[in-house]
């Protein structure tokens, strides 16, 4: 055996020894705190066959039954603490937010699309959030509402044309994604996408690829903990074609509007105004790359999540015709009081049962079924009695099963039943804090939730005033979710419904 081979074997042995020592050190740390551990291997294996959200939900219910407020999956690469206790969740998401303000995603500065507000670390996220938050005030949303109305009318006409052609069994999943593509494309990019009329438009095709990441989400998490290594390797979440497309669209839109002094009262307008007025006095200027990333983030959030929520809501209303009738009656009661019997922004706020149906949809089908945070510096978490639950070391990941919480029968009796009344003021008051987390909670909750709620509520109100939805022969009795997309709860195989004119 040569000297080189001997040195290689000794080096490998030393590396493995250091890994083993470090792993034992991590195990002992959590054992001293009386925190039970679990192996993530079984969860990873199960998630290849079933959606990760469902797998972690089952694990959450085991923890809840055994009254374990938290458990840990120790690893020399990534240590993750699963939290079941709602008081601890509130502690880390709100009281001790600054300790857990990072989501733990990888940001590569040579990969502009990865620089979204969702992935940014605290020091960059905070000034970005402060700059962007004013874009989603009720006043700003009202200026976007006419665009929703215009695209909504096209949506109704497209469905009517299919019904007139004798097609009653419609792919609602596909239609809703085309609607949200046109809305987001128009409001975020100022582009008339027309995917409702032509499903094969360039914008729609790129939208379908938006979550086809170059690297698996698990490597995105590892990159969040070891960003220097990943940047040296120049790993990128998105391919060059995707980056070039969205960068080109944003740059061309900005240049055209500035050259022709055009205003559309949309998201892009607001970002352009921010860029003009941003003097960088806070040490952070809003660059073109930053605008591209935030517009792209808005597109992903508004396109995929909103279309899925619409599909799930229509599915449940078709499955529960009595609920569909109640929601429609609520809409009609408000429309009678409005001018010209039209849906308005203010009118949507008065459609309380419609809003409750949307909340119940998001309870039963949280589009982001798991929340993730990363501890920025050592922190002590406390339980409901104020006692120390555990000491969380720096760079530890936190996992929260939103799907599990939303399907806990102690919070939501008979959780598999669709019951919008759960979200009356009286029912909400009975439940503990942090038992409803479709948009997260605390300072880092979804920034665009007002827009998402407006888009979904308007579309449902519009469709239910024109059409009746019911199950067809091709409608699945039970929905199955795509395990290939562990980040979002997306249906596998689409949703077909029978649609009839009213």
Running DSSP on this structure, what letter comes out for residue 500?
A: E
Beta strands in 346-489, from DSSP E residues, in sequence order: 370-374, 379-382, 388-392, 397-401, 467-470
Contact 357, 327 (CB under 8 A): yes
The two three-digit tokens of residue 402, written as one number: 């939103």
DSSP 347-411: HHHH-HHHHHHHHHHHHHS-SS-EEEEE-SS-EEEE-TTS-EEEEEPTT-EEEEEHHHHHT-TTT
Selection from 205, 53, 158, 176 nearest residue 496 by Cα: 176
Q: How many CB atoms lie within 10 A of CB 138?
A: 11
Contact 447, 133 (CB under 8 A): yes
Contact 479, 495 (CB under 8 A): yes
Helix (H, G, I), strand (E, B) or coil at 291: helix
Q: How many CB atoms lie within 10 A of CB 200?
A: 7
Helix (H, G, I), strand (E, B) or coil at 464: helix
Q: How far apart are CA 435 and CA 30, in angstroms?
A: 27
The two three-digit tokens of residue 266, written as one number: 């949309």
**Residue with token string 């997260």:** 440
Q: How far apart are CA 368 and CA 365, in angstroms?
A: 9
The two three-digit tokens of residue 378, written as one number: 């050592």
Query: Residues 6 or more apart from 266 whose CB is under 8 A from it?
Result: 143, 144, 147, 186, 187, 188, 190
Q: How far apart are CA 156 and CA 437, in angstroms?
A: 32
**Residue with token string 């409803």:** 436
Q: How many CA atoms lie within 13 A of 361 on its CB side?
A: 30
Q: How many CA atoms lie within 13 A of 36 on its CB side?
A: 11
The two three-digit tokens of residue 10, written as one number: 């000794």
- Residue 472: φ, ψ to 5°: -105, 180
Contact 433, 411 (CB under 8 A): no
Please provide the distance, in angstroms rounded to a whole number, between the alpha carbons at the two ends of the chain: 84
Selection from 152, 411, 450, 402 nearest residue 301 by Cα: 450
Q: Is 459 annotated as a binding residue?
A: no
Binding site residue list: 446
Binding site residue list for heme: 446
């Amino acid at each position: 055996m040569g000297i080189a081979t001997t040195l290689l074997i000794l080096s490998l042995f030393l590396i493995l020894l250091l890994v083993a020592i470090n792993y034992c050190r991590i195990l002992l740390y959590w054992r001293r705190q009386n925190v039970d551990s679990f192996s993530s291997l079984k969860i990873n294996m199960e998630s290849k066959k079933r959606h990760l959200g469902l797998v972690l939900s089952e694990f959450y219910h085991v923890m809840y039954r055994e009254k374990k407020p938290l458990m840990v999956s120790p690893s020399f690469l990534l240590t993750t603490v699963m939290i079941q206790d709602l008081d601890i969740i509130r502690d880390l998401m709100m009281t001790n937010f600054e300790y857990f303000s990072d989501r733990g995603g990888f940001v590569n500065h040579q990969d502009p699309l990865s620089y979204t507000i969702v992935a940014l670390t605290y020091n960059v996220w905070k000034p970005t959030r402060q700059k962007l938050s004013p874009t989603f005030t009720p006043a700003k949303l009202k200026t976007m509402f006419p665009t929703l109305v215009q695209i909504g009318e096209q949506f109704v006409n497209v469905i009517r044309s299919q019904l007139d052609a004798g097609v009653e069994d419609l792919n609602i999943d596909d239609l809703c994604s085309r609607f949200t593509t046109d809305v987001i494309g128009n409001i975020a990019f100022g582009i008339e996408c027309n995917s409702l009329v032509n499903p094969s438009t360039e914008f729609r095709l790129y939208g379908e690829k938006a979550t086809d990441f170059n690297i698996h989400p698990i490597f995105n998490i590892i990159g969040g903990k070891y960003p220097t290594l990943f940047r040296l390797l120049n790993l990128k979440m998105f391919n060059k074609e995707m980056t070039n497309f969205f960068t080109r669209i944003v740059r061309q839109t900005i240049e055209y509007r500035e050259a022709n002094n055009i205003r559309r009262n949309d998201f892009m307008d607001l970002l352009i105004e921010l860029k003009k007025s941003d003097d960088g006095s806070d040490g952070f200027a809003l660059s073109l790359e930053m605008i591209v990333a935030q517009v792209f983030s808005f597109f992903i959030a508004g396109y995929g999540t909103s279309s899925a929520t619409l599909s799930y809501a229509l599915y449940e209303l078709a499955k529960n015709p009595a609920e569909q009738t109640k929601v429609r009656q609520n809409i009609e009661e408000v429309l009678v009081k409005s001018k010209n019997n039209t849906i308005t922004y203010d009118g949507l706020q008065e459609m309380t049962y419609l809003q409750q149906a949307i909340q119940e949809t998001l309870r039963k089908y949280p589009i982001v079924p798991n929340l993730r945070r990363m501890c920025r510096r050592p922190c002590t978490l406390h339980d409901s009695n104020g006692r120390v639950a555990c000491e969380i070391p720096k760079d530890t990941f936190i996992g929260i099963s939103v799907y599990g919480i939303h399907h806990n029968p102690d919070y939501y009796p008979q959780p598999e039943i669709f019951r919008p009344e759960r979200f009356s003021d009286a029912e909400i008051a009975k439940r503990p804090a942090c038992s409803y987390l479709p948009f997260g909670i605390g300072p880092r909750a979804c920034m665009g939730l007002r827009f998402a709620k407006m888009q979904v509520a308007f579309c449902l109100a519009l469709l239910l005033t024109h059409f009746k939805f019911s199950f067809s022969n091709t409608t699945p009795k039970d929905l199955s979710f795509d395990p290939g997309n562990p980040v979002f709860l997306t249906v596998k195989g689409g949703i077909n419904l029978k649609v009839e004119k009213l």
